[in-house]
Structure 1
Amino acid sequence: MSREFLLVLVLALLVVLLVLLPVGWFARRRRQGALAAPAEVPASLGASRGSFAGKYVATTASGDPYDRIAVHGLGFRSNVEAAVTDDGVLLARPGEPDTWIPRADLRSLDRATWTIDRVVEPDGLQVVDWMLGSRRVATYLRLDDPTGFDAALTPLIPTTERQAS
């Protein structure tokens, strides 16, 4: 085989891979199209428990950190301002619609070391489990003040869920 043939073969493989990436992403979005949208942000968020800056890492199916949720603006990493209030959690991210997690939808708060495309120091990610319609999902956050976030959010988790975790 000549060098030119091998070069063409490698370039053709690269083009096929670059075409398959968006095809796979759009297929995932189509499969998740029936997934309920997050709740509307209410006019009044309730009393503030704290606001925490950091990174939004991912939202996945709960218990499956490889199954990224790709719809409703939850598919891409970004900066985040997580506002914890008496009524729930507001995730404000630039370029995406705000995500409101009502207190009634919160299920648990945990820590993780990794998710689909991010590995950090042990317990470096906050994992907020919540209900998105009828599906339980997990949102991974990397916050500048993880201890403060945990202290603000833990009282909002239903007692029965805290005991089950």
Structure 2
Amino acid sequence: MSRTGFAILMAAIVVLVLGGMWIAWRARARRDGGLAGASLMPTGEIVAVFPRASYVSTTPVGSPFERIAIPGLRYKGFAEVTVRRGGVTIAVTGEPPVHLSVDQLTGTATAGGRIGKVVEQDGLSLLQWRPEPQTPAAAGSAPAPRTLESSFRFAAPPEQQAFADAIATIVTTDQTDTTQEDA
């Protein structure tokens, strides 16, 4: 095989791989497009603001390597996380903000890794929540949405603890902060 033929073959393989990745991402975005946070920004007193948290990903609880592509939480980046009495707003740079009402929140946890980031044990903070379907489904026709975890990396452990404390103050149900280790 000549050099030109080899170069053409390698270019074709790269194009096929990149095309497959693009098609898979579009399918994931369509699949998860029906999940969302609350439609309105949470109200109430501001409990805490984290202006430069590193947003990692959103995954289903128990599936740390399955990224969920919800509008506003599709891509990694720095985020401003605002915790109010009525819920949480996550504003990832370059994305529309995602609002989560306090009724959607189920608690917090920590982990050592998620798809897109591996750090020391308990180095990631997880915000656990239930999405609201955007399209109303007939009663009993669709399974209940899974509980999701949005993961954040904070600059220092005190900031990570402040985040967990802020969420604990607004979540009214009896939740335990458990550590979920990755498989």
Normalised to the residue count of structure 2, the TM-score between the two structures is 0.80
**Correspondence list, 1:149-160, <5 A:** 149-160=163-174
Structure 1 residues 62 and 39, CA gap change in structure 2 (3 angstroms): same
* Distance of 2:120 and 2:110 partners within structure 1: 11
* Distance of 2:112 and 2:177 partners within structure 1: 22
- Structure 2 partner of 1:47: 45
Equivalent position amino acid for 2:148 in 1? V
- Structure 1 partner of 2:153: 142
* Distance of 1:164 and 1:68 partners within structure 2: 21
* Distance of 2:31 and 2:121 partners within structure 1: 33
Equivalent position amino acid for 2:109 in 1? D
More helix per residue: 1
* Distance of 2:177 and 2:117 partners within structure 1: 28
Equivalent position amino acid for 1:23 in 2? I
- Structure 1 partner of 2:56: 57
Helix, strand or coil: the match of 1:70?
Answer: coil
- Structure 1 partner of 2:30: 30
Structure 1 unmatched runs, 5+? none
Deviation at 1:117, TM superposition (A): 1.2
Deviation at 1:160, TM superposition (A): 2.9
* Distance of 1:51 and 1:108 partners within structure 2: 17
Equivalent position amino acid for 1:138 in 2? E
For the 8 Å contact 2:73–2:92, the answer to whether it is kept is no
**Correspondence list, 1:57-136, <5 A:** 57-133=56-132, 134-135=144-145, 136=147
Structure 1 residues 163 and 84, CA gap change in structure 2 (3 angstroms): closer
Q: What is the percentage of aligned positions where both structures have the same residue?
A: 31
- Structure 2 partner of 1:15: 15
1:75-131 deviation per Cα after TM superposition (whole angstroms, max 9, x unaligned): 101111111111111112222111111111111200011111111122111111101
Structure 1 residues 164 and 54, CA gap change in structure 2 (3 angstroms): closer
Equivalent position amino acid for 2:169 in 1? P
Normalised to the residue count of structure 1, the TM-score between the two structures is 0.87
Say how many residue pairs are matched. 163
* Distance of 2:54 and 2:113 partners within structure 1: 14
Structure 2 unmatched runs, 5+? 133-143
Equivalent position amino acid for 1:131 in 2? R
Helix, strand or coil: the match of 2:175?
Answer: helix
* Distance of 1:120 and 1:3 partners within structure 2: 43
More strand per residue: 1
Equivalent position amino acid for 1:72 in 2? P
For the 8 Å contact 2:107–2:167, the answer to whether it is kept is no
